[in-house]
Amino acid sequence: MRIVSTLLALVSLFLFSCQKEVDYVNSTTRGTANTSSDGLLVKTVLKNGSDSIVTAYGYNANKKLINLKKVGTDDQGDPVNTEYHIHRNSSGIIVDYSAIDPALVAAGVDSIPTVVHYSSSRYTSYVINVNVPGFVLLDSSALVYDGSGRVVGENVYESPSGSGNDYYLSGKLTYSYSNGGNVSGFVIHDYDQSGVEVFTATVSNINYDSKTNPIYLQNEGFALGHYDWASPNNMVSAQSGDSNGPADDQTITYTYTYNSNNKPATSTVTIMPDNQVANTTYYYQ
């Protein structure tokens, strides 16, 4: 059961990530990093009480993100030791990425792979495939664009058998934007195999500062499962809710200090009414 839980946790990181870690800046849809001083984020240290997670970021010669490694303990006190590899072609376009974790290796799983599809100058979909004894998963997420080239949704398809022959629409994400090009919210709906649609969760009223988001990937962020990497500025507040109603509603707020390049130097996130507080320090080079 613990192995299955680990698989699900790693899978969900890519499929529906609501994390607000910030990594590095780029100025194109292909993820070219900002080359000014303090341009590349090489490490973050997240502290939550006595727990902490250190994330190291690696880049190729063209300053494109190709590696993340997380080490530490999460807010439940569980150990974290996970590495993510992003593989790009000669043009810098992502072709696949994978997650590696000691718990998976111990179960005989080398990695969790996600294949990314790209055509007509845009990312079109990504597919995750896990097939181990007792756990089979084949999910595909197709990106939906508007006429201006923004990603406004994702259609998620699942193959229960893992064969790819029995895909059905299992979920939809719908994104909205503010005037500054930041993602202002999203809604998630699930579908059962009979096609019945059920509201699942929403994040709304996302507000931003006017400073530089250290990981601005535009549409590449969606291909990596991170809507927050598609916004040029840093989130300062948001509301979240789910199908359980107001009892599960949360308010998320961020406060920052900034370096001389108007990028976060430190941040504090507070989640209410749970009264969870975490602090992050950012290291650039």
Which residue segments constitute the domains of the chain, with CATH numbers given? 2-284 (2.40.160.150)
In one-letter notation, the amino acid at residue 278 is: A
CB neighbours of 213 closer than 8 A, spacing ≥ 6? 22, 25, 229, 231, 232, 233, 234
How does residue 130 score in pLDDT terms, banded at 50, 70 and 90? confident
pLDDT at 35 over 50: no
Overall average pLDDT of the 214-233 stretch: 90
Residue 232 φ then ψ, to 5°: -75, -15
Residue 15 pLDDT exceeds 90: no
Q: Of the ranges 103-107, 116-120, 130-134, 161-165, which one carries the lowest mean pLDDT score?
A: 130-134
Structure tokens that stand for 182 in this block: 């930041």
Token output for 179: 């005037």
| Cα–Cα distance, 27 to 281 (Å, whole number) | 23
> For residues 3 and 1, what is the distance between their CA atoms, to the nearest angstrom?
5
| Least confident segment among 44-48, 68-72, 78-82, 115-119 | 78-82
Q: What is the mean pLDDT of the chain?
A: 84
Please report the DSSP string for 233-251 in residue order: S-EEEEEEEETT-GGG-EE
Q: Cα angle at 112 between 136 and 217, to 5 degrees?
A: 125
pLDDT surpassing 60 at residue 8: no
Q: Note the pLDDT tens digit of each residue in 179-222.
A: 889 999 999 999 988 889 999 999 999 999 999 999 888 999 99
CA 167 – CA 161 distance, rounded (Å): 9
Residue 38 pLDDT level (bands cut at 50, 70, 90):
low
50: tokens are 């006595």
Residue 30: pLDDT band with limits 50, 70, 90: very low
The DSSP bridge pattern shows strands 197-208 and 276-284 to be unpaired
d(CA 107, CA 29): 37
